[in-house]
Amino acid sequence: MREDVARDAIVAYAKRLYDRGLIAGASGNVSVRLDDGSLLATPTLASLGTLRASDLVVCAADGSSFAGDRRPTSELPLHVAAYRVRPEIRCVVHTHPTHCVAWSKTGALFPLDTVGAIESLGSIGFTRYERSGTVELAGVCSDAFAHGFDTIVMERHGLSSVAEDLETAFLRTDLAEQTAHIEFVAATLGARGVPRGRGEPVVSMSDNESSPPPIVSPRRERPDVPLEDWRRAAGEHPEANAALDAFHSEYSSDAPDRERLGGHVERVRGFADVAGPFERWWLDPRVQAFVAELNATGI
């Protein structure tokens, strides 16, 4: 993409993001990879709703330098890392959608069982919390992108989407927020007078005896745990194997506790030999959807 075309496109899509409420204040950032490999990025401390083409900043591909008086977004390390692991993409869109961020505070991804999510959202993953603008945040996000996720929900932070064009990244961002909003409303409606015994399906109840019979929503299937593969990666490391056993015991129980499960996940991630294969499984959309459904229904 030529620089002049890219400038106009970023300004247009930045305003669409702002108008849709996917960002607020001076939050959010967008970048495009130009034909020469350099990056065109939104500036720091600027509202995406009022950007001008001249406000955008040209940066080196590795983020080491930039031209002009304005500084690029503080999340530039995330953008640089995304382009490094996904050479086919041409843009990165990072936003702070309200319902996506709210769901992220549960420690898991929202359910992905609506028609829109299944047919149009594409691959979406969840990344643990790291401080904004850090190389650590760029690392966990780029690892998710490297494993094929096009959109990621970032714990207590926001949403990032990569694509070959801004339209696709915008649509994924918009649909992810709608999906999170739908699941938030569904969980709120289900919480009114609905018994939620641990290990039981969610039941929609009515006080009116003439109403149709209750609708039972089946639980999502629990993805298998490749425990033996992880054990081979851990080798003879006793602490790593103990961490794997603790995670497997909690995950396989009749009523997994979200906080305990999260603690076991962080413990396993601390062992370098097993962290890679474990993270690939943990970020699988099927696993994240199962955990999110547990959080949403309390089972």
Please state the rounded mean pLDDT for residues 247-271.
Answer: 87
Whether residues 135 and 28 fall in one domain: yes
Residue 233, Cα to own-chain centre: how many angstroms?
A: 26
Residues 255 and 151 in one domain: no
Residue 108 is assigned to a structural domain of this protein: yes
Domain boundary among 133, 167, 187: 187
Q: Which of 187, 216, 251 finishes a domain?
A: 187
Domain annotation covers residue 297: no
Residue 64 has pLDDT above 50, yes or no: yes
The answer to which of 4-13, 16-25, 34-43, 280-289 has the lowest mean pLDDT is: 280-289
In a domain, residue 162? The reply is: yes
What pTM was computed for the model?
0.66
Averaged over 270-292, what is the pLDDT?
A: 81
State the pLDDT confidence band at 15, using cuts at 50, 70 and 90.
very high
- 260 is a domain residue: yes
Token pair listed for 261: 């499960």
* Phi then psi dihedrals of residue 280, to 5 deg: -60, -40
Domain co-membership, 237 together with 145: no
User: What pLDDT score was predicted for residue 295?
Assistant: 53
Domain boundary at 187, 215, 243, which?
187
Residue 86 belongs to a domain: yes
269 and 157 share one domain: no
- pLDDT at position 106, please? 86
- 109-161 pLDDT, tens digit per residue, is 888 888 888 888 888 889 999 999 999 999 999 999 998 899 999 999 999 99
Q: In the structure encoding, which two tokens stand for residue 65, read together?
A: 């330098």
Q: What pLDDT digit, counting tens, does each position of 81-112 carry? A: 999 999 999 999 999 999 999 999 988 888 88
119, 109 Cβ separation under 8 angstroms: no
293 confidence band (pLDDT: 50, 70, 90): low
Confidence at residue 208, expressed as pLDDT on a 0 to 100 scale: 38
Q: Are residues 278 and 132 in the same domain?
A: no
CATH of the domain at 62: 3.40.225.10
Asked if 280 and 144 touch (Cβ cutoff 8 Å), the reply is: no
Say yes or no: 44 and 178 in one domain.
Answer: yes
* 173 within a domain of the structure (yes/no): yes
- Select from 128, 122, 157 the least CA-distant residue to 278: 128
Question: What is the pLDDT averaged over residues 27-46?
Answer: 96
Q: Are residues 172 and 247 in the same domain?
A: no
On whether both 12 and 121 belong to a single domain, the answer is yes
Residue-wise pLDDT tens digits, 165-220: 999 999 999 999 999 999 888 888 874 332 332 222 222 223 333 433 333 333 46
Specify whether 32 is located in the same domain as 126.
yes
Mean pLDDT of the chain: 84
Q: Is 196 among the domain residues?
A: no
Distance of alpha carbon 62 from the chain centroid: 24
Kindly state whether residues 35 and 123 are assigned to the same domain. Answer: yes
Q: What percentage of the chain carries pLDDT values higher than 90?
A: 59
Residues 17 and 118 in one domain: yes
The verdict on residue 205 lying in a domain is: no
Q: How many residues are recorded in the chain? A: 299
Whether 160 and 263 map to the same domain: the answer is: no
**Domain limits at 156?**
3-187
Q: How many percent of the chain have pLDDT more than 70?
A: 87
Domain count, the chain: 2
